[in-house]
């Protein structure tokens, strides 16, 4: 990659004053944690909040707690989602049960979901991927009839709403991520939220059993935050992006991640999170609106969620017309430093570590999405000029393509009768 302005696919800039102030965590380790716990209780209007080392750790604790309240062990997850989700399911010694998504959205296919619910089902995970809110209420109605818990994955959608309800408050329990590039970040971290007292007691028991974050881990996280701050600026991001051994953007499945309580540095880094979150989400919404307007003029028909006013657009997902079209776009975007990401490489049934157990599942829509989906950056380092350049590139690839598909934010209704190409088998 040549020296040029290069956009990172995601970013959640932390002000230098907050990074330096976080060192106070050594002196007052509990103060910041207690403060943000109370702020989260107020913001989400929930009774119970815990802060842990990552979103994966949060989901792991939730599943361990739910297993103490149910005989079930099967966890239904979207067929297309972040690989961290099934990794946490396996870490909690539960069974991964993939469910396909609808063609015109990232919502779970309710017909297939209904067939998966049985006496051994522990919970259903609803993921608000890319900051696009899913219809949790429909899933919850179905799950209640079967006595199955609903877990909301708000890792990529902090601050979003759907149907007037804040994401994370519609299901039985939810988790949030504060990883690099999330809506608000402290380098790495996660939170668990619930208003259910029974679930709250079960999670409290699991939380009490996990260790505190070590001082070495706290310092390592702080140094990573500093390096991220220095190297994600578009003026210098070309350097880490050009080093293959860093593995930037790679999606990996692993289960040996730490499960600890959030350390003092991370808690201090979250001070002022609500102000940063509001600023971040407003910026992302403005950039997404600009992009959607331009893509519409390019002949790209966007398909939004059923309540787009509540979406926070951590990234703007676009489905290209074919796998070849996606490859062409990603290659050109990398050359031009546009920050377009190819995202998760497959549906979860194709993850090598899970392929044997999940080989019998059919996930045509999830596989098609994995083949054709890219995301456009919306973060606070993206300018209006960047958006125009990115959308022009998407439009040029779209117009050059001989594919019969149109580019869209999700599959459009008129594509339902068009056969999907290049499904992963």
243 pLDDT more than 80: no
pLDDT band at 422 (very low <50, low <70, confident <90, very high): very low
Average pLDDT over residues 336-340: 96
Helix 84-91, helix 55-67: angle, nearest 10: 40
pTM of the model: 0.91
Cα(15)–Cα(79) distance, integer angstroms: 37
N-to-C CA span, the chain: 33
Phi-psi map region of 228: left, alpha, beta (phi>0 left; psi -120 to 50 alpha):
alpha
Nearest to 316 by CA among 130, 144, 189, 159: 130
Nearest to 106 by CA among 293, 274, 343, 295: 343
Nearest to 199 by CA among 66, 292, 106: 66
* pLDDT score recorded for residue 1: 59
* pLDDT score recorded for residue 245: 57
Cα(219)–Cα(196) distance, integer angstroms: 35
286-to-128, 204, 337 alpha-carbon distances in Å: 19, 39, 21
Give exposure, 394-424, as e/b (b: 16+ Cβ within 10 Å).
bbebbeebebebbbbbbbbeebeeeebeebb
**What are the structural domains of the chain?**
16-209 (3.40.640.10), 273-415 (3.90.1150.10)
Average pLDDT over residues 388-409: 73
CA-based diameter of the chain, in Å? Answer: 63
* pLDDT score recorded for residue 418: 29
Phi-psi map region of 43: left, alpha, beta (phi>0 left; psi -120 to 50 alpha):
alpha
* pLDDT score recorded for residue 327: 95
* pLDDT score recorded for residue 244: 67
126 pLDDT more than 90: yes
Count of all residues that appear for the chain in the document: 425
7 pLDDT more than 90: yes
pLDDT band at 403 (very low <50, low <70, confident <90, very high): very low
Cα(245)–Cα(121) distance, integer angstroms: 40
Average pLDDT over residues 74-99: 97
- Contacts of residue 396, defined as CB under 8 A and 6 or more positions apart, other chains included, come to none
* pLDDT score recorded for residue 210: 97
Place of tokens 């106070």: 24
Average pLDDT over residues 250-269: 90
Nearest to 405 by CA among 366, 371, 362, 363: 371
CA angle 35, 176, 45 (to 5 degrees): 55
Instruction: Report the percent of the chain where pLDDT is more than 90.
Output: 73
Average pLDDT over residues 231-242: 89
Q: Which residue has the higher pLDDT, 243 or 283?
A: 283
pLDDT in tens, 314-330: 999 998 888 999 999 99
Cα(35)–Cα(29) distance, integer angstroms: 11
Tokens of 145: 């009839």
CA angle 24, 25, 30 (to 5 degrees): 130
pLDDT band at 308 (very low <50, low <70, confident <90, very high): confident
* pLDDT score recorded for residue 412: 36
* pLDDT score recorded for residue 263: 87
Rounded to 5 degrees, φ, ψ at 248 are: -60, 130
Average pLDDT over residues 398-403: 65
* pLDDT score recorded for residue 214: 86
Cα(59)–Cα(89) distance, integer angstroms: 8
Cα(170)–Cα(166) distance, integer angstroms: 7
Q: What DSSP character marks residue 243? A: -
* pLDDT score recorded for residue 425: 29
What's the chain's Rg over C-alpha atoms? 21
pLDDT band at 248 (very low <50, low <70, confident <90, very high): low
**Least trusted range by pLDDT, from 18-32, 265-279, 334-348, 392-406:** 392-406
Cα(105)–Cα(178) distance, integer angstroms: 25
**Least trusted range by pLDDT, from 58-72, 220-234, 296-310:** 296-310
Residues 242, 248, 253, 256, Cα dihedral to 10°: 110
Do residues 143 and 149 make contact, with C-beta atoms less than 8 angstroms apart?
A: yes
Average pLDDT over residues 42-51: 98
- Contacts of residue 174, defined as CB under 8 A and 6 or more positions apart, other chains included, come to 151, 152, 153, 154, 167, 168, 192, 193, 194
**Least trusted range by pLDDT, from 320-329, 392-401, 406-415:** 406-415
């Amino acid at each position: 990659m040549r020296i040029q302005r290069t956009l990172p696919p995601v970013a959640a800039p932390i002000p230098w004053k907050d990074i330096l102030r976080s060192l106070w965590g050594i002196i007052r380790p509990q103060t910041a944690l207690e403060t943000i716990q109370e702020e989260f209780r107020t913001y989400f209007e929930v009774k119970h909040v815990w802060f842990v080392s990552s979103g994966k750790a949060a989901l792991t604790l939730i599943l361990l707690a739910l297993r103490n309240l149910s005989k079930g062990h099967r966890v239904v997850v979207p067929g297309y989602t972040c690989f961290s989700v099934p990794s946490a399911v396996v870490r909690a010694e539960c069974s991964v049960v993939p469910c396909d998504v609808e063609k015109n959205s990232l919502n779970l296919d309710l017909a297939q979901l209904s067939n998966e619910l049985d006496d051994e089902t522990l919970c259903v995970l609803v993921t608000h991927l890319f900051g696009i809110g899913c219809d949790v209420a429909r899933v919850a109605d179905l799950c209640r009839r079967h006595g199955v818990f609903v877990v909301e994955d708000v890792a990529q959608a902090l601050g979003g709403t759907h149907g007037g309800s804040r994401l994370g408050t519609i299901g039985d329990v939810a988790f949030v991520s504060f990883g690099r590039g999330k809506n608000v970040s402290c380098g790495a971290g996660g939170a668990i939220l619930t208003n259910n007292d029974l679930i709250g007691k079960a999670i409290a028991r699991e939380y009490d059993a996990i260790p505190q974050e070590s001082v070495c881990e706290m310092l390592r996280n702080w140094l990573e935050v500093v390096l991220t701050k220095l190297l994600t600026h578009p003026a210098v991001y070309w350097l880490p992006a050009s080093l293959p051994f860093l593995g930037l953007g790679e999606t990996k499945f692993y289960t040996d991640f730490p499960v600890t309580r959030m350390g003092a540095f991370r808690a201090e880094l979250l001070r002022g999170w609500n102000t940063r979150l509001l600023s971040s989400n407003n910026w992302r919404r403005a950039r997404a609106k600009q992009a959607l307007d331009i893509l519409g003029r390019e002949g790209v028909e966007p398909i939004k969620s059923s309540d787009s006013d509540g979406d926070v657009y951590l990234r703007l997902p676009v489905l290209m017309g074919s796998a070849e079209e996606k490859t062409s776009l990603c290659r050109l975007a990398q050359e031009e430093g546009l920050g377009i990401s190819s995202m998760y490489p497959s549906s979860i049934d194709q993850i090598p570590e899970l392929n044997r157990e999940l080989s019998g599942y059919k996930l045509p829509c999830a596989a098609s999405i994995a083949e054709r989906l890219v995301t456009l950056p919306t973060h606070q380092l993206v300018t209006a000029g960047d958006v125009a350049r990115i959308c022009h590139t998407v439009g040029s690839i779209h117009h050059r393509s001989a594919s019969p598909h149109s580019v869209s934010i999700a599959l459009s209704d008129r594509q339902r009768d068009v056969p999907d190409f290049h499904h992963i088998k």
